[in-house]
Structure 1
Amino acid sequence: MGPGPVKRADESPPTLWRHRDFVKLWIGQSISVFGSQFTGIALPIVALQLGANAVQFGILNALETVPFLLFGLFVGVWVDRWPRRPILIVGDLGRGLIVIAIALLFLAGSLRLVHLFLAGFLTGVLTVFFDVAYQAYVPSLVEPEQLVDANGKLETTRAASQVAGPGIGGVIVSLLSAAAAMILDGATFFVSGAFLVAIRGKEHPPEKKRASMIADVREGLGVVFGDPRLRAIAGCTATSNFFNSALSAVLVLFMAVDLGYSPTILAGVLGLVFSLGSIGALVGAVVAGRTAKRIGVGNAIVAGAVLFSLSIGFIAVAFQPYAIPMLIAGNFLTLVGALIYNVNQVSLRQAITPNRLQGRMNATMRFLVWGTLPLGAITGGILGTVIGLRATLLFALAGGSTAVFWLLASPVPALRTIPAITK
């Protein structure tokens, strides 16, 4: 996207709240993310009721993210060749249908773990397409100087949904059923798809040049590995995601077995911990831009990574009778760090990558940083069985703390501002 008309130095960018198409995207995503918190609470409870063990929890988590490892690089090429908004619409509608199908099977008493595994994989495939297209679509929707503001607004609302959603989801699961929570989540995907359909702005046309698939994949890899800033961000995020995924794979079992929460109250405890802890995501999204202005965008990225990794310690050492406040504190601080990190590093990536390569850059990043999620989940599930649940959390804490060294060994800390956007 071109730089647009020249503005006076003292002229502020136009407010995004007057950008009708951005507002439609924002509303749709806000509703969808809010609904996804319901399934985030309901699905582990359903898996527990079906008798899932630590390894099976790891497999379930892995299947949701392994499509990034299998298809991510090729999806980036397709996203750069196709209009991006239709990809987003299909992704929303497809995921809504899958979630509702699982809920109906559960209500009918026919749900089995194999159904959860299949649904997780299919949802993951659609999420690959959606996420890669989504991050490539935002820079074509707003002006270059609005990128940080746009990402901040989207992440702030995502964070607010993470605050309210788990608590409401826990109440729905406790008072109604896990199936009711998932049906509501499916409906929010449909609402998001409707708002995407309503967007009227035209995208940049896909590039007309058609190289071979392998050549395009190689070009995407070259963009990331050829830029030391992108390379460092990929390494940091991939390392952090691997160890955080190992933690996530055993966290619900840790709360049920080591901390002693029975299945009858676990949904409520999960909702409380995730809702109050997720206030940290709201705080992080709000202060991300201010932090970058105060200490520089590079230092903000580093600070976010450090805060995220070290705060997992509260979760790893949680014990009764202080488990709930410790889990809340750990979740709160990790999400403050994660949002400061993500808002700034995503804006940096979008600014330094040409529009025609946005899909491939994002797909390569997703391949690298989300590709470690299934590996981490499987590792966490196996370690949870072999060395114990708490020991697995301590393993995740120690390993995740090394992620920041990718950034410290790169040009990222020296960046004061987001560079001028690349055409």
Structure 2
Amino acid sequence: MTILTGTPAPAPLRRHRDFRLLWVGQTVSAVGSNVTAVALPLVAVAALDASTFGVAALTAAAWLPWLLVGLPAGAWVDRIRRRPVLIGGDLVSAALFLSVPVAALAGLLTVGQLLVVAFGAGLARVFAETAEQVYLPTLLHPEQVPEGNAKLHASRTASYLVGPGLAGLIAQLAGAVTAVLLDALSFLVSAACLRRIRTVEPPPVRPAGASTLRREVADGLRFVLHDPYLRVLTLFGAASNIGLTGYQAVLVVFLVRSAGLPAGAVGLLIGLAGVGGILGALLATTLGRRLGTGRALLVAAALTGPPALLIPLAGPGVRVLWLVLGGALVSLGVAVGNVVKGSFRQTYTPHRLLGRVTVSMQLLNYGTIPVAAVLAGVLGAMWGPAGAIRLTTAWLAATPLILLLGPLRRRRDLPAAPGR
């Protein structure tokens, strides 16, 4: 067993055994999750004949836990070691997704069960994703955090290509329910990788004196609300997620029912639309270094917004290429922004507050997602999937203007610490 002290010169991440284990586990899990992101709606549409609103409700159920338990989860994660939280989240998610093929074999699968599974897996994700954000800086030296984030985001973004394509292929060959089984197995692989990490995580620093959960939650919220950088990044993330989730929530229905594409083509097209995200994750640290982290965020926002207007132009035949082009540019911008923003938050925020600050930002960032999914379902029911996608991408195209309201427009680089 080794304890990270921070004094030795950091080795390259390719030789960092424990980071490799985290990276492999998170990558496998991300591929499985992106298989399910397409497979679960396909199960609802193809096997259970769910409505457009019912399919969008699956997305809402998956993200609703951020609104319900996000803030106390962050305070709780700040109190304990995070690796057991990550392992527990993997095991719970594996059990939930395994229940889908079991119920299908027994002839008992319903849309209601899919909603419960989506909600339960989303609940586990709240704790696991928050724990990962706090855990990475304890595993790496501060100067390694941006590279570590870039590698995790690159593999996660690659999973947006591999996962949907794999989901479509499995759905064609063995049915969408079988694709969900793959996600359950991926969480078990992730848990096994995390279990083999040797680095001993330092005990969390508890605040001096008596402190209640409510007070600790308030400390995280107060830090975000009073900080000009975190505040504007939170608002931008929330607004852009409304547009991103809105069109993604009804995209499968649009491609299957409006464009008349088979399941295999749906997964492939959604995967190709995520190719730009791989490039963005690989280029993010370089762009931050050459342009400055502040300017890199503005460039990323410009790519996230206006190119979304290409997506509604997609249709049958060669018109599906508009989806690929628009989606690739949007995913490139999202990946660059996530790497730069994530590394900034992890190194800028005092570590004792990192869990609470993370969920305080994500409460609004992710809390808008179930609202956007339900709204997209309503819009889809009223004006069809194509109408819902036109409205949500128009919203997304305007969101970069939010970043111009804060101090980012005047800075080349983001500050290293509050008050600088």
TM interval, shorter chain, is over 0.9
How far the C-alpha of 1:93 sits from its partner, in A, is: 0.8
Tell me if 1:279 matches 2:281. Answer: no
- Confirm or deny: 8 A CA contact 1:347 1:418 kept in the other structure: no
- Confirm or deny: 8 A CA contact 1:132 1:366 kept in the other structure: no
Tell me if 1:349 matches 2:349. Answer: no
| Residue in structure 1 matched with residue 235 of structure 2 by the alignment | 235
Q: CA RMSD in A?
A: 1.9
How far the C-alpha of 1:31 sits from its partner, in A, is: 1.2
- Structure 2 distance, partners of 1:307, 1:170, is 28
| Residue in structure 1 matched with residue 109 of structure 2 by the alignment | 111
Question: Structure 1 length normalisation: TM-score?
Answer: 0.93
How far the C-alpha of 1:176 sits from its partner, in A, is: 1.3
| Residue in structure 2 matched with residue 171 of structure 1 by the alignment | 169
- Structure 2 distance, partners of 1:227, 1:238, is 17
- Confirm or deny: 8 A CA contact 2:36 2:179 kept in the other structure: yes
- Structure 2 distance, partners of 1:63, 1:113, is 12
Residue from 29, 40, 45 that aligns with 1:43: 40
- Structure 2 distance, partners of 1:214, 1:220, is 10
Decide which moves more: 393-402 or 218-227: 393-402
Q: State the percentage of identical aligned residues.
A: 37
Decide which moves more: 407-416 or 348-357: 407-416
- Confirm or deny: 8 A CA contact 2:273 2:325 kept in the other structure: yes
Q: Provide the secondary structure at the position in 2 that maps to 1:51.
A: coil
Structure 1 unpaired stretches of 5+: 8-12
| Correspondences of 1:144-293 after superposition (within 5 Å) | 144-209=142-207, 210-261=210-261, 265=262, 267-293=263-289
Decide which moves more: 27-36 or 322-331: 322-331
| Residue in structure 1 matched with residue 360 of structure 2 by the alignment | 364
Q: Provide the secondary structure at the position in 1 that maps to 2:259.
A: coil
Decide which moves more: 252-261 or 114-123: 252-261
- Indicate how the Cα distance of structure 1 residues 387 and 162 shifts in structure 2: closer, same or farther if over 3 A, else same: closer
Q: Provide the secondary structure at the position in 2 that maps to 1:332.
A: helix
Tell me if 1:120 matches 2:118. Answer: yes
- Name the aligned partner's letter for residue 389 of structure 1: P
Q: How many residues align?
A: 413
| Residue in structure 1 matched with residue 60 of structure 2 by the alignment | 62
Tell me if 1:77 matches 2:106. Answer: no
How far the C-alpha of 1:383 sits from its partner, in A, is: 1.0
| Residue in structure 2 matched with residue 10 of structure 1 by the alignment | none
- Confirm or deny: 8 A CA contact 1:236 1:404 kept in the other structure: yes
- Confirm or deny: 8 A CA contact 2:168 2:267 kept in the other structure: yes
| Correspondences of 1:408-419 after superposition (within 5 Å) | 408-419=404-415
- Indicate how the Cα distance of structure 1 residues 260 and 421 shifts in structure 2: closer, same or farther if over 3 A, else same: same
- Name the aligned partner's letter for residue 376 of structure 2: G
- Name the aligned partner's letter for residue 183 of structure 1: L
- Indicate how the Cα distance of structure 1 residues 71 and 176 shifts in structure 2: closer, same or farther if over 3 A, else same: same
- Name the aligned partner's letter for residue 347 of structure 1: S
Tell me if 1:97 matches 2:75. Answer: no
How far the C-alpha of 1:271 sits from its partner, in A, is: 1.8
- Structure 2 distance, partners of 1:58, 1:155, is 26
Residue from 18, 21, 30 that aligns with 2:18: 21
How far the C-alpha of 1:323 sits from its partner, in A, is: 2.9
| Residue in structure 2 matched with residue 143 of structure 1 by the alignment | 141
- Structure 1 distance, partners of 2:189, 2:377, is 35
| Residue in structure 2 matched with residue 390 of structure 1 by the alignment | 386
- Confirm or deny: 8 A CA contact 2:309 2:397 kept in the other structure: no
- Structure 2 distance, partners of 1:389, 1:172, is 25
Residue from 322, 331, 345 that aligns with 1:326: 322
Question: Structure 2 length normalisation: TM-score?
Answer: 0.94
Residue from 352, 370, 373 that aligns with 2:369: 373
- Confirm or deny: 8 A CA contact 1:80 1:357 kept in the other structure: yes
Structure 2 unpaired stretches of 5+: none
- Name the aligned partner's letter for residue 178 of structure 1: A
- Name the aligned partner's letter for residue 231 of structure 1: R
- Structure 1 distance, partners of 2:202, 2:333, is 34
- Indicate how the Cα distance of structure 1 residues 162 and 417 shifts in structure 2: closer, same or farther if over 3 A, else same: same
Q: Provide the secondary structure at the position in 2 that maps to 1:403.
A: helix
- Name the aligned partner's letter for residue 88 of structure 2: V
| Correspondences of 1:291-330 after superposition (within 5 Å) | 291-330=287-326
How far the C-alpha of 1:113 sits from its partner, in A, is: 0.6
| Residue in structure 2 matched with residue 401 of structure 1 by the alignment | 397
Q: Provide the secondary structure at the position in 1 that maps to 2:398.
A: coil
- Structure 1 distance, partners of 2:191, 2:93, is 10
| Residue in structure 2 matched with residue 337 of structure 1 by the alignment | 333
Decide which moves more: 116-125 or 382-391: 382-391
- Name the aligned partner's letter for residue 30 of structure 2: V
- Structure 2 distance, partners of 1:235, 1:387, is 28
Q: Provide the secondary structure at the position in 2 that maps to 1:319.
A: coil
- Name the aligned partner's letter for residue 380 of structure 2: G
